[in-house]
Structure 1
Amino acid sequence: MDICILGAGPGGATAALHLARAGHRCLLLDRAAFPRDKVCGDALSGKVISELRRIGEDLPARLAAEPQQLPSWGIDFYAPNGQRLAVPFKPHYNPATDCPAGHISKRIDFDNFLVEQVRQQPLIDFRENTDVARQQRLPDGRWQLLAADGTTLATARVLLVANGAQSAFARQIGGHQLEPDHHCAGLRAYYEGVAGLHPDNFIELHFIKEFLPGYLWVFPLPNGQANVGVGMLSAAVAKKKVKLRERLDEILATHPALKDRFAQARRLGPVRGFGLPLGSRRRPLSGEGYLLLGDAGSLIDPFSGEGISHAMVSGRHAADWAGRALAAQDFSASFLRGYDKAVYNRLWQELRLSRAMQRLLQYPWLFNFVANRAARNPTLAETISNMFLDLDLRERLRRPSFYVKLLLGK
């Protein structure tokens, strides 16, 4: 097989589906059997919907019809001083008539939704329960994929590596080492019976003064459940010696805005941890005969922790550049750098702005100031809402003049 994809999560599945649409055969390998769970916040942004539409015009509507998802209409930010700032994804939305800009779905369900599309494509050879223990380059430049017992699983001219944040390939061959200043540690648990969830399924981000620069999230889910977790830069976890699991329990039990809401809630299953390699600095995404996708390419949003849409964006571009490499019969590192350029042309401005917003957490007084003003100023609140759709508006957050105007009441 000319093209092999490691990992059938959103990035790998998206790449496979775009390759099939373009008429290319590919091999898709995953060590798990689907449906399978993955630790995540479970939120699907508007960019996910856009990428689904690129795969198939009907896919957003089909996702919206799934009982395992909820439509989400916005975000509730809670500033360090407790001020709530409601930010709809679309100003003046109407849930009865508008298409939702986002959804919330457990990864066990959303990833399986994509895999079901994969199963319908005869050009995709999808193999589950297939663990690639190691890989090596053959003299002719192809990649040889080996099982733990040394058996050859496949060979490929180009390898699309989409096997997640813990990818050994990304570390050993792609050179992506764990950098605490560009890595987030997180915990997630499922709950039922959480009180006070938004009627339009706004996701919640709580920036608690005593927990900065970390944050806590509460995302509503179908069947009265919620995804609840915390995240913090790994550098801050180490510097402050934070025990995330203990802090999560403590905050839910004692914080004034949360303790009553969780008083009757019940945790479902264990608290599970995960690491997020953030896209807060540019790293190489390709090399001789390979491309790194999604979490394996360290493309996670530094502020929100979102990775699904970025995985899908990279999957689309990876399919494009794998197809170009086949057409040109050029699998060199210099040729495949076109993939890096394409991905960063799409994502870098957003990643850079998210990095700037992440740094604002060092100034909780500034966060409080903006939230207080927006709570009293509908025009400012709408501007902040539009920032989720307009990068030029979001750029204002990086400019001192934005805060000067706020200070002067303009």
Structure 2
Amino acid sequence: MNTIKETDVCIIGAGPAGATAALQLHQYNIPCIVVDKAVFPRDKVCGDGLSGKVLTILNSIDPAIGERLVGLQDKEESWGVTFVASNRASLDIAYKPVNDGAAGFVCKRMVFDNFLVDEMKRCGTIELIEGTAIDTYTLQQDGYLLSDASGSLRIKAKLIIVANGAHSSFTKDVAGIQMEPKHYCAGLRAYYKNVEGLHPKGHLELHFLKSLLPGYFWIFPLPNGEANVGVGILSEVVRKRKLNLRKMLQDTLENDPMLKERFKDAVLIDKIDGYGLPLGSKKRKLSGERYMLIGDAGHLIDPFTGEGIGNALYSGRYAAQQAKLAIAANNFSAEQLKAYDETIYYKLGPELKLSARLQKLVHRPWLFNYLMKLGMGNKQLRELMSCMFYELDLRKKLTKPSFYVKLLFNRA
């Protein structure tokens, strides 16, 4: 029988959430083992947008990591987001610059995730095991015994941080979180070259087209003249209407009066891939006896924009902070770890609630169009919407009814 590896913390999944948790633990000088079924670099179907949250959280862990991300060549700077309503009114929301540079980026997940893996490999306290999937989770009195299917890898951990995505068997079978179509988004991603009319400052474009409501169409500019293009619609709507997302994407590019001109010379440079987005539009139990769920495994994607990487990084850092406290207290009980849930929903909850409300607005195009019009003439609203992407505490203003009362009577 193979030797059992023992560790205080085992992180299952080396994507953005898991890597961030490991990097934060390294700052605390807490060793951990990170296991991922993939061998990096590997592709991950995603919108590839890195909002201002990403650089903010990496800088807070270690400014040197942020500096290396800024210096990464294979990415596109993004200075904001452009929302386009069904009536074609558009609203530009700028990110707040970081050290006079761009706060956001667009970077293929193959590149960004491998960047974080390389960061982990710099750290002597992190043991990274690639190409192995954890299939068995056995809760024992003193920790979890983890194993791959063959039993060739066995790990005993006092605490596990689950970061292996939306389809995590642990999330479903142990934590009891199931996929709910009304809190899940179906998406398609394609890479195109030679798309015309991209924003000069690399804005992420979110188009709430009438033909796609209550979903949206996106264009995210990438280096080398490429763009990440796709559609996302609630799974509940896809099922009820029996929608063919691939056909909807193609019809949009071929028939939409504005977009067909922008894509007339565009070339598809890779296959069209589908994926699911577990939305944070419902509050869930994210921890229990000796475990915490982070990133997509915790269903934390923004319900309105579909942005998940920033929230993944925040959840990874918060889980590492709670792990430090649990280790110091030698207490890994559900009661001890529920502070992680409280932190997540205190810090991210206001944003997720607001985004869920905005998502519902899309069902009423006239109201969403009005909000866009209001934002175009209201500096206060634009600034607060900008804060959604990098300042967690300020988002709480957007959940207060008093803010909207002031907004309606103050157009300055």
TM-score of the pair, normalised by structure 2: 0.92
* Distance in 1 between residues matched to 2:396 and 2:342, nearest whole Å: 21
* Distance in 2 between residues matched to 1:399 and 1:51, nearest whole Å: 27
Cα distance per residue 1:87-111 (max 9 Å; x no partner): 2224xx7x9x822121111111111
Q: 1:403 to 1:251 in 2, by over 3 A?
A: farther
Structure 1, unaligned runs of 5 or more: none
Aligned to 2:3: none
Aligned to 1:293: 294
Per-residue deviation at 1:181?
1.1
Per-residue deviation at 1:84?
2.0
Give the alignment of 1:204-353 within 5 angstroms. 204-353=205-354
Count of aligned positions: 402
Aligned to 1:394: 398
* Distance in 1 between residues matched to 2:298 and 2:190, nearest whole Å: 26
Aligned to 1:80: 86
Aligned to 1:187: 188
Aligned counterpart for 2:123 among listed residues 111, 121, 124: 121
Per-residue deviation at 1:60?
2.3
* Distance in 2 between residues matched to 1:175 and 1:381, nearest whole Å: 38
State whether structure 2 residue 374 is matched by structure 1 residue 369: no
Q: 1:281 to 1:266 in 2, by over 3 A?
A: same
Q: Identity of counterpart residues, as a percentage?
A: 45
Aligned to 1:168: 169
Cα distance per residue 1:297-321 (max 9 Å; x no partner): 1111111111111111111111122
Aligned to 2:102: 100
Per-residue deviation at 1:286?
0.7
Note if contact 2:17-2:294 (Cα within 8 Å) is conserved in structure 1: yes
State whether structure 2 residue 37 is matched by structure 1 residue 31: yes
* Distance in 1 between residues matched to 2:409 and 2:341, nearest whole Å: 38
- Code of the residue aligned with 1:391 in structure 2: it is R
* Distance in 2 between residues matched to 1:266 and 1:181, nearest whole Å: 34
* Distance in 2 between residues matched to 1:39 and 1:288, nearest whole Å: 32
- Code of the residue aligned with 1:316 in structure 2: it is R
Note if contact 1:64-1:71 (Cα within 8 Å) is conserved in structure 2: no
Q: 1:402 to 1:256 in 2, by over 3 A?
A: farther
Aligned to 1:17: 23
Per-residue deviation at 1:170?
0.3
CA RMSD of aligned residues (A): 2.1
Q: 1:386 to 1:323 in 2, by over 3 A?
A: closer
* Distance in 2 between residues matched to 1:5 and 1:200, nearest whole Å: 37
Per-residue deviation at 1:374?
4.3
* Distance in 1 between residues matched to 2:27 and 2:381, nearest whole Å: 41
Note if contact 1:158-1:290 (Cα within 8 Å) is conserved in structure 2: yes
* Distance in 1 between residues matched to 2:22 and 2:218, nearest whole Å: 32
> What SS does the aligned partner of 1:2 have?
strand
- Code of the residue aligned with 1:186 in structure 2: it is G
Q: 1:151 to 1:62 in 2, by over 3 A?
A: closer
Aligned to 1:46: 52
Aligned to 1:57: 63
TM-score of the pair, normalised by structure 1: 0.93
Comparing 380-389 with 104-113, which one deviates more in the overlay? 380-389
Note if contact 1:89-1:385 (Cα within 8 Å) is conserved in structure 2: no
* Distance in 2 between residues matched to 1:181 and 1:333, nearest whole Å: 28
- Code of the residue aligned with 2:371 in structure 1: it is V
Per-residue deviation at 1:151?
3.4
